[in-house]
Amino acid sequence: MSLLMELRGITKSFPGVLANDHIDLILNEREILAILGENGAGKTTLMNILYGLYSPDAGEIFIRGSKVNIHNPRDAIRLGIGMVHQHFMLVPVFTVTENVMLGVESTNGAGILDRKSVSKQIADISGRFGLKVEPDSMVEDLSVGVQQRVEIIKVLYREADILIFDEPTAVLTPQEAEEFFKVVHSLVDQGKSVIFITHKLKEVLEIADRITVFRNGKVVGTTTPAESTEASLASMMVGREVILTVDKKPSSPGDVVLDVADLHVMDDRHLEAVKGVNFQVRAGEILGIAGVQGNGQKELVEAMTGLRSCTVGKVTLLGKDISRASPRTIRETGSAHVPEDRRCDGLVLPFPIKDNLVLNTYYEPPFSRGFNLNGDEIIKTAEQRVKEFDIRTPSVFLPASTLSGGNQQKVIVAREFSRPIKLLIASQPTRGLDVGSIEYIHGQIVKKRDEGCAVLLVSPELDEIISLSDRIAVMFGGKILDITPAKEATKEGLGLLMAGIRSNVQTETA
């Protein structure tokens, strides 16, 4: 394999953070290079530099031996570099064809867009690499898996030789991920070179030719799948021994706390997102709902927390019907919610930390009496909670935006856990967090379970579900396909269910 691209000494810093610290990297022709690292380790920054979205403070880039300067995406595209971002860069109201040709539009003589010839070329690429799409469909109507194909076609349309994928399997089922890997192999077979960024250890071992590990902005080492195991890679990523499973004792479930019966919920586009779901959660157990994002989990959780009304069905909490209740009433009945988007939904970032710590209890005594808000009480409680949950901040008066992701999540946890709660609904509680914070949050969840709380865990991270849950439900297409005890569940079996393929196992009537 000959050397295709080399990065030497790339350094990039942002205010307060050294994102890339003298990075050296090599990519060979027709190879699949995996860049592994935690969130915040600097992988995406480096790729953005390669694609011309950022310019490095220092360092050089060589392609096929000659030095190149990449000042903007146009330069990168010209050099044959193409990037498929983690969050898709598509215009929802445009068709596939329009999205693909944006920026390199073909026009006929009169300056009118030539959609037809582009559609033909798309069909061509589609056939060559196994990426089935309908050129005239609107992107917003497409599923996530198909949207990703559009992104790949975009890159191939511009004749890229080096393809960079940023967390490509984050939104795919295990089966779709397999499809994706097939496409990657096809790309390499036809002469392309692939870099893909991930934090998923299993994938890396499965598909990469070489693995470069990042930590805290530096390259920690380069290895191959033959020479590594999940555990060795994990330690390289984190710098210490990592315990990959959560230590927990078996659960002893008590009474039913949450009862969901034949729930139907509509989404924002007035289509049914939840199509008749039944399950129960008991005190002292964790029910994990697995499934790829977009199968109705968001709407399900919103229905259970009062943020969305259900059209049909009943949700009962501790015997009380909360199907049409307001979020406040549900909370007061004893439910707590850790939302999936902590920055937008769980916190008011410009507000001081102290206010965020009482965000949903400020109107009750002792924080308020009638029309009076008791500022001193809030400050006192805030300082107490900061100590108890080890939230790193010099002052509770600072806005919550000054906290790191892990500490922000701790604020939400501190807030929700400081009340006597009977039901905890956690949506993607460890999204975007470093390993240390993940360990902490997982520990807190298990602790609550042991205290007798019922826990509903919704997460697309299968590993998290498997390690935490006592029972696992799989959601697909708005329905719960199966609920099995965690001990009996296998990753393959769950993967099939997540793709909608029912197994022969009888559905457990919860």
Partner 1 sequence: MSQAVSMNSNAQGGSRRRFTVGIFLLAEAAALLLLLIGTGGMVSTFVLASKRAGVDIAAPDLVIPTWASILAVAIFVGLAGVWQLIKGFKRYTNAVLITMISLGILLFLIWAARDNSLNLTGMLVSSVISATPIALAALSGIYSERSGVVNIGIEGMILLGAFLSVVVASVTHSLIIGFLTGILAGMLLGALHAVLSIRYRINQIISGTGIIILALGITNYFYRAFLNPNPALNNSGPILASLPIPLLWRIPVIGPILFNQSPVIYIMFLLILFTHFFYNYSKWGLRIRAVGENPKAADTLGINVFRLRYISVLISGGIAGFAGAYMSIGQIGFFQESMSAGKGFLGLAAMIFGNWNPGGAFLGSLIFGFFDSWQNKLSILQVGIPSEFLAMAPYIATMVVLAGFVGRSRMPAADGTPYKKGEA
Partner 2 sequence: MSKISAKPTQTNPQEVQGHSFWQRLFVRKGVSEGVLLPILAVFTALVIGAFIIAFSDLETLAAWGNFFNNPLMALGTTFVTIWDAYTAMFIGAFGDPGEIFRQLGIWIKTGESKQLLAAIRPVSESLMLSVPYILAGLGVAVGFQCNLFNIGAEGQLYIGGLATAFVGYAVHGLPWYIHAPLAILAGAVAAGIWGFIPGILKARFGAHEVINTIMMNYIAYRLMDYLLNGPMKSGGTPATPQVLPTAILATIFPSPVRIHWGFFIALGMAVVVYWLLWKTPFGMELRMVGTNAKAARYAGIPVQKTMVLALIISAILCGLAGSIHLLGVDHRMMTSFSPGYGFDAIALALLGNSHPLGVVLSSLLFAFLRGGASRMQVVAGTPVEIIRIIQGMVIVFVAAPEIIRGLYHLRSSRREKKSAAPSASKS
Note the residues at the interface with partner 2 (CB under 8 A): 16-17, 38-41, 215-216, 238, 240, 305-307, 326-328, 331, 337, 339, 344-351, 355, 359-360, 362-363, 367-368, 371-373, 375, 379, 390, 392-395, 397-399, 401-407, 434-437, 439-440, 443
The strand pair at 256-266 and 272-282 is best described as antiparallel
Asked if residue 173 lies in contact with residue 495, where contact means CB atoms within 8 angstroms, the answer is yes
174 binds, among partner 2, partner 1, none (CB under 5 to 8 A by kind): none
480 binds, among partner 2, partner 1, none (CB under 5 to 8 A by kind): none
40 binds, among partner 2, partner 1, none (CB under 5 to 8 A by kind): partner 2
d(CA 464, CA 461): 5
Residues listed for the chain: 510
d(CA 235, CA 391): 25
CB of 398 to partner 2, least distance (A): 6
CB of 350 to partner 1, least distance (A): 14
d(CA 261, CA 274): 12
Q: Going by C-beta distance under 8 Å and a sequence separation of 6 or more, which residues neighbour residue 506?
A: none
Of 202-210, 266-274, 350-358, 443-451, the window that binds partner 1 (rule: CB under 8 A) is 266-274
CB of 85 to partner 1, least distance (A): 7
The owner of tokens 């898996």 is: 145
312 binds, among partner 1, partner 2, none (CB under 5 to 8 A by kind): none
Asked if residue 9 lies in contact with residue 42, where contact means CB atoms within 8 angstroms, the answer is no
Counting contacts by CB under 8 A, is residue 71 touching partner 1? no
Asked if residue 4 lies in contact with residue 27, where contact means CB atoms within 8 angstroms, the answer is yes
Site string for partner 1, 10-49 (x = CB under 8 A): ----------------------------------x---x-
Decide whether 16 or 111 has the Cβ nearer to partner 1: 111
Contacting partner 1 within 290-309 (CB under 8 A)? 307-309
CB of 44 to partner 1, least distance (A): 7
The owner of tokens 């001990």 is: 487
d(CA 6, CA 395): 45
Measure the N-to-C terminal CA separation of the chain; round to a whole number of Å: 55
Counting contacts by CB under 8 A, is residue 105 touching partner 1? yes
φ, ψ for residue 386 (rounded to 5)? -60, -40
Q: For the CA atoms of the chain, what is the radius of gyration?
A: 25
Q: Which residues of the chain form contacts with partner 1 (CB under 8 A)?
A: 44, 48, 51, 53-54, 72-74, 77, 83, 85, 88-94, 98-99, 102-105, 107, 111-113, 154, 266-268, 270, 307-309
